[in-house]
């Protein structure tokens, strides 16, 4: 897009009346789901678990990104993805369908700039799995740039608070561009990279060499500027390394669990959230949720079959599972609502 056209579209957008998330029922979360007939949707969900709207997706979704002020959501395809659907949640219509450039794949996650004018998308080069972040202006949904993630196989990314810098979880796994076969497990090297929107590398945090097969996957921001990262172990199944690490100023600290709890998650943490001084990681494989204090101390394990999506809620967390149940997670699990759906991997909090 030419500079004059870009500035003109921004001016036109500024003059147009803008709806807010309140105009579509103030959803607390966004989540992808599969219906009984096999079709896929993106839902806006209330704190009580009610679906406020359901909008069609062209294929299975993964995570989503909510615009910071406007009722606009971007639903991302499951990796390796070839669509990101931009949806006007007030009018229930598709605004744009983003397609990665030739030789790129979407990796299921994205985030907005603080002012909402730029969407950042997690991507990789199809042939090598080298990480990229796509930059898209949100006035006309045109791609304006891309920057390196400084790693292989990026997945989740978050904009750090009080900053425009991005924290990227580079999972370290190179995959076949067509069938997701893992190609480099013996030599993988995951990291958390902090990068500026211009692509400058601020810091790079790596695990010890003995844990290089612990893929860094999903992120939750903590109130004090730190972040928590959920991991998936790709090494020897007889081992059970920690699945949670805390990131602080470019350094990673592992959060072990008691030996009796170490195999509960089956070496797989599918999602993560932070709320009310606690951190939750989920495992659909293990049918479990593990809770930690914000300093990394293990607190408890709760059981829920096929639980994966988790997000902050008043007094705790909201949890989704593949059986269509949304639950409140406090000191215990309390079902909120059940639907004839298979909730997908993530609950995304609106406004974060």
155 token code pair: 């997945």
The residue with greater pLDDT, 6 or 185, is 185
In this prediction, residues 98-104 reach a mean pLDDT of: 94
The rounded mean pLDDT for the chain is 91
3-state secondary structure of 167: strand
Say what percent of the chain tops pLDDT 90.
Answer: 79
**Number of domains forming the structure of the chain:** 1
pLDDT (tens digit per residue) in 326-344: 999 998 999 999 999 999 9
Residue 338 lies in a domain: yes
In this prediction, residues 162-174 reach a mean pLDDT of: 95
- To the question of pTM greater than 0.85 for the whole model, the response is yes
> pLDDT tier at 162 (50, 70, 90 boundaries)?
confident
299 token code pair: 């607190």
Residue 3 lies in a domain: no
Residue 148 lies in a domain: yes
Report angle CA 47, 48, 50 to the nearest 5 degrees: 100
Task: Please state which of the ranges 58-67, 192-201, 217-226, 285-294 shows the lowest mean pLDDT.
Answer: 58-67
Residues 91, 71: Cα–Cα separation, whole Å? 9
The residue with greater pLDDT, 265 or 26, is 265
22 token code pair: 């309140």
Where does residue 253 fall: left (phi above 0), alpha (psi -120 to 50 degrees), or beta otherwise?
beta
Cβ burial of 24 (10 Å; 0-12, 13-18, 19+) is buried
Task: Please state which of the ranges 92-101, 239-248, 307-316 shows the lowest mean pLDDT.
Answer: 92-101
Residue 7 lies in a domain: no
pLDDT of residue 80: 78
Q: Is the pLDDT of residue 5 over 50?
A: no
pLDDT of residue 351: 67
pLDDT of residue 92: 80
Residue 11 lies in a domain: no
**Could you list the residue range(s) of the whole structural domain that residue 139 is in?**
17-349
In this prediction, residues 293-299 reach a mean pLDDT of: 97
Residues 302, 75: Cα–Cα separation, whole Å? 29
pLDDT of residue 176: 87
pLDDT (tens digit per residue) in 254-279: 999 999 999 999 999 999 999 999 99
Q: Is the pLDDT of residue 287 over 60?
A: yes
> pLDDT tier at 106 (50, 70, 90 boundaries)?
very high
CATH assignment of the domain containing 96: 2.130.10.10
Q: Is the pLDDT of residue 218 over 90?
A: yes
In this prediction, residues 302-316 reach a mean pLDDT of: 95
pLDDT of residue 23: 79
Task: Please state which of the ranges 1-15, 51-65, 70-84 shows the lowest mean pLDDT.
Answer: 1-15
Q: Is the pLDDT of residue 130 over 60?
A: yes
Residues 298, 292: Cα–Cα separation, whole Å? 4
Residues 71, 68: Cα–Cα separation, whole Å? 8
């Amino acid at each position: 897009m030419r500079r004059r056209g870009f500035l003109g579209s921004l001016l036109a957008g500024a003059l147009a009346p803008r709806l807010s998330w309140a105009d579509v029922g103030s959803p607390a979360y966004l989540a992808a789901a599969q219906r009984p007939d096999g079709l896929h949707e993106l839902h806006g969900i209330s704190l009580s678990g009610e679906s406020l709207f359901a909008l069609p997706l062209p294929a299975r979704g993964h995570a989503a990104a909510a615009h910071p002020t406007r009722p606009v959501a971007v639903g991302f395809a499951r990796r390796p993805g070839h669509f990101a659907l931009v949806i006007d949640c007030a009018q229930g219509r598709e605004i744009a369908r983003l397609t990665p450039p030739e030789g790129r794949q979407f990796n299921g996650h994205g985030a907005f700039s603080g002012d909402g004018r730029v969407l950042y998308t997690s991507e990789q080069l199809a042939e090598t799995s080298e990480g990229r972040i796509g930059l898209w202006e949100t006035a006309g949904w045109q791609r304006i740039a891309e920057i390196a993630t400084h790693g292989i196989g990026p997945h989740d990314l978050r904009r750090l608070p009080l900053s425009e810098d991005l924290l990227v979880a580079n999972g370290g796994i190179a995959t076949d561009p067509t069938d997701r076969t893992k190609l480099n497990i013996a030599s993988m090297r995951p990291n958390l990279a902090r990068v500026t929107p211009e692509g400058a590398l601020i810091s790079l945090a790596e695990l010890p060499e003995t844990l290089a097969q612990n893929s860094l996957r999903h992120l939750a921001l903590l109130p004090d500027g730190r972040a928590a990262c959920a991991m998936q172990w790709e090494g020897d199944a007889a081992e059970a390394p920690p699945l949670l690490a805390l990131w602080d100023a470019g350094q990673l600290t592992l959060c072990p669990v008691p030996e009796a709890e170490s195999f509960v998650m089956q070496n797989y943490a599918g999602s993560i959230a932070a709320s009310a001084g606690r951190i939750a990681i989920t495992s659909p494989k293990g049918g479990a949720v593990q809770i930690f204090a914000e300093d990394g101390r293990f607190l408890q394990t709760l059981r829920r079959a096929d639980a994966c999506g988790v997000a902050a809620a008043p007094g705790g967390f909201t949890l989704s599972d593949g059986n269509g149940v949304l639950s409140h997670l406090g000191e215990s699990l309390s079902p909120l609502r059940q639907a004839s759906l298979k909730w997908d991997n993530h609950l995304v909090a609106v406004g974060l």
